[in-house]
Amino acid sequence: MRTSRLLACCPVCGTGSRRVHSRYLRKLGDLPWEGIPVAIQLRTRKFFCDDELCRRHIFTEPLSSTVPRYGRRTLRSVEALDWMTLVLGGQAGARLARKLGLLVTGSTLLRQLRHRAQCKPLAAPRVLGIDDWAWRKGHRYGTILCDLENRRVIDLLPDREAATVSAWLVQHPGSEIVSRDRGGIYAQAARAAAPGAIQVADRWHLLRNLSEALKNALSPHHRLLAQAARSGTSEAPAVVAAAQPSVPPWELRAQQRNRERRFSRYEEVRRLGQTGASHASIARQLDLDHRTVCKFLRAGTFPEAQRSPRSGIVDPYADYLDQRLEQGHRNVSKLWRELREQGFTGQLNIVRRWLRCRRGYYPTSTAAAPRKAAPRISVRQIVWHILKETPAAQVYLQQIYQASPQISAISNLAMEFFRLIRQRDLPALTPWFEAAKTTALAGFASHLARDREAVEAALMLLFSLFQVEGQVHGLKLVKRQMYGRAGFDLLRLRVLQSA
C-alpha cells in the first residue's frame, strides 16, 4: 500500500508541503483477515518543509488515523491488543491473540500497556474517596483512591501508610472533599497534605464501630444473657430457640480437647496481661491474632466458643424422621428410600450422618422423650436484634432490660445512634454525646468526639465509600485473575486503564 494525497503538513510548524524528499518501506501488523495474520507493506514518503524558520527541514508524512508515530501496528490492532491485556494480562492475552491470528508475545503486550499509561496524566478529583484493599488479608494492604463524582478509580498506592497518602495528595492538589473510613491513617494524611479539604467519615464504618462497641459492652454480661435465654425459651427469637442436635461421642471428645487448649491460651494471655505486656507483644509471643488477645483481656470470664447449627437438605424432613425413630425404625437404608419417595434428592450417607448427630438415635430406649437442649445465643446476635429491633426478639430483650437497667441504657443509646446515622439527624448528635459520657459506650463516644467534624460532615453530605467498596470488589477480581504471577505495577496499570 502507499499514500495518495498530494499535500502533507509539517508536524512542527503546520506548513503544507508538496515536495517529496524520499520514500521508504514500513511493515505494519494489522488485524487478521478470517483468522489469517496480516502484514501491511506501506510505502511512506518524506517531505521538505517549505518554512525556512522551521527547525524541522525534512519530515515523514503523518498518518494519525492509521498508525501511531514510530508504531509497527495499526491503531485498530493496537486497540484490540490493549483490551486483551487489560482483561487477561500478559501471557494469557498473548495466548488468546495467537489463537485469533495476532502474533504477539506477553512482554510486548505489557510494554505496550505501560507506554499507554505514561501518556495518561493523573488529576485529583473534587470529591476523593480513600479506602484500603488487601493484597494479602491480614498481612499486606494497599490504598485505592476514587473519584466519587465520576465513579472511577484514580490511582492505587502500594501501602496504606500516612506518609504515602500525604505524598500523593501533595503531588495532586485540588480535592475539596475527602471521604474516608474511621481509621486514623487517612485522617492524619488528609489533615497534613490537604488541610482545607472537608473530611467525611463513612456512615457504614460508623455503624460497624457502634456494633463492635455494643458487643464489647455486653460481653461482661454474657451470663445474664444466657440465663434469660434459658428462662424464656418459648419467647426467645428463632435463632435462640433452634434445637441443638446432640453430637457423637468422638466429636464431644474433640470439642473438649479444643476447649482445654483454648482455655490454657486464655490463662496465659491473662497472666501476661497482668505483667503489663502490650497486646502486640502478647500476640507475637503466643502466636495469636491481636484481636483474640484483646477479646481475652477484655472478657471477665473465659468466653465459651459459640457454635450455631447449620441447616442441611435433611432438615425439612426432620419431623418425619423423628416420628419414624419414635416408632422404632432404625434401618437407615429404609428411611432413605422413604425420603426419596417424598422428593428427597440427597444420598444415603447424608441421611446416615444426620441420624448419627440426631438426638435420640443412639439410646436403645425409644419410649424416652428426647431431652431439650438449652438454647444458645451469641453476643453478636443480641447486638443484631437490638440494632435492627427484631420483632421476634422483643420479649427476650425486655427480659434482659428488666434484669439489668445498665444494659437497657446502653441499648437505648445504641439504638438512638443507629437512628440518627440512618436518618442523618445532626441536631440529635450533641445530646447523644452528653448521654453517652456516663455509660459503657463512653470510650466509643470519646473516639467519635476526636473526629467530630468528619462525623458531622457524614450527616450533612451524601458522599460515602459505597462506590469505593464496589471498585475494591472489581480490583479483587483483577488481582485473582493474575494468579500471583505479577506485581503491583501491573495490577495498577490494569485497574487504571480499565477504569
The C-alpha cell that represents 164 in the structure block: 504515602
How many domains does the chain fold into?
A: 5
Domain boundary among 357, 387, 421: 357
Task: Kindly state whether residues 255 and 332 are assigned to the same domain.
Answer: yes
Task: Kindly state whether residues 208 and 179 are assigned to the same domain.
Answer: no
Task: Kindly state whether residues 351 and 288 are assigned to the same domain.
Answer: yes
Q: Do the domain assignments include residue 472? A: yes
Burial of 310 by CB count in 10 Å (0-12 exposed, 13-18 middle, 19+ buried)?
A: exposed
Is the model's pTM score more than 0.75?
Answer: no
Q: Do the domain assignments include residue 177? A: yes
Distance (Å, rounded) from C-alpha 189 to C-alpha 178?
11
Burial of 207 by CB count in 10 Å (0-12 exposed, 13-18 middle, 19+ buried)?
A: middle
Task: Kindly state whether residues 114 and 159 are assigned to the same domain.
Answer: no
Task: Kindly state whether residues 181 and 213 are assigned to the same domain.
Answer: no
Q: Do the domain assignments include residue 419? A: yes
Q: Do the domain assignments include residue 3? A: no
Q: Do the domain assignments include residue 237? A: no
Q: Do the domain assignments include residue 365? A: no
Task: Kindly state whether residues 15 and 82 are assigned to the same domain.
Answer: no
Task: Kindly state whether residues 397 and 449 are assigned to the same domain.
Answer: yes
Task: Kindly state whether residues 165 and 191 are assigned to the same domain.
Answer: yes
Provide CB contacts within 8 A for 101, sequence distance 6+: 32, 35, 36, 37, 38
Task: Kindly state whether residues 318 and 415 are assigned to the same domain.
Answer: no
DSSP collapsed to 3 states, the chain: CECCCCCEECCCCCCEECCEEEEEEEEEEEEEECCEEEEEEEEEEEEECCCCCCCCCEEECCCCCCCCCCCCECHHHHHHHHHHHHHHCHHHHHHHHHHHCCCCCHHHHHHHHHHHHHCCCCCCCCEEEEEEEEEECCCEEEEEEEECCCCEEEEEECCCCHHHHHHHHHHCCCCCEEEECCCHHHHHHHHHHCCCCEEEECHHHHHHHHHHHHHHHHHHHHHHHHHHHHHCCCCCCHHHHCCCCCCCHHHHHHHHHHHHHHHHHHHHHHHHHHCCCCHHHHHHHHCCCHHHHHHHHHCCCCCCCCCCCCCCCCHHHHHHHHHHHHCCCCCHHHHHHHHHHCCCCCCHHHHHHHHHHCCCCCCCCCCCCCCCCCCCCCHHHHHHHHHHCCHHHHHHHHHHHHHCHHHHHHHHHHHHHHHHHHHCCHHHHHHHHHHHCCCCCHHHHHHHHHCHHHHHHHHHCCCCCHHHHHHHHHHHHHHHHCCCCCCHHHHHHHHHHHC
What CATH number corresponds to the domain at position 140?
3.30.420.10
Task: Kindly state whether residues 65 and 139 are assigned to the same domain.
Answer: no
Task: Kindly state whether residues 332 and 286 are assigned to the same domain.
Answer: yes
pLDDT at 206: 92
pLDDT at 243: 39
Distance (Å, rounded) from C-alpha 452 to C-alpha 447?
9
Q: What is the pLDDT along the chain (499 residues), one digit of tens a residue?
A: 888 888 888 888 888 888 889 988 888 888 888 878 888 999 988 999 888 888 888 988 888 888 888 888 888 888 888 888 877 777 888 888 888 888 888 888 888 877 776 656 678 889 999 999 988 888 889 999 999 998 999 999 999 899 999 999 999 888 999 999 887 889 999 999 988 899 999 999 999 999 999 999 998 888 888 888 777 654 455 444 433 444 556 566 777 888 888 888 898 888 888 888 888 889 888 888 888 888 888 887 888 776 655 567 888 888 888 888 888 887 888 888 888 888 888 888 888 888 877 644 444 443 444 444 445 678 888 998 899 888 888 888 898 999 889 999 999 999 999 999 999 999 999 999 999 988 899 999 999 998 899 999 999 998 888 889 999 998 888 888 776 566 788 888 888 877 6
User: Domain of 386?
Assistant: 204-222+376-454
pLDDT at 70: 82
Query: Which of 39, 89, 88 is closest to 67 using CA atoms?
Result: 39
Q: Are 469 and 454 in contact (CB under 8 A)?
A: no
pLDDT at 131: 92
Q: Do the domain assignments include residue 370? A: no
Q: Do the domain assignments include residue 362? A: no
Task: Kindly state whether residues 22 and 36 are assigned to the same domain.
Answer: yes
Q: Are 308 and 243 in contact (CB under 8 A)?
A: no
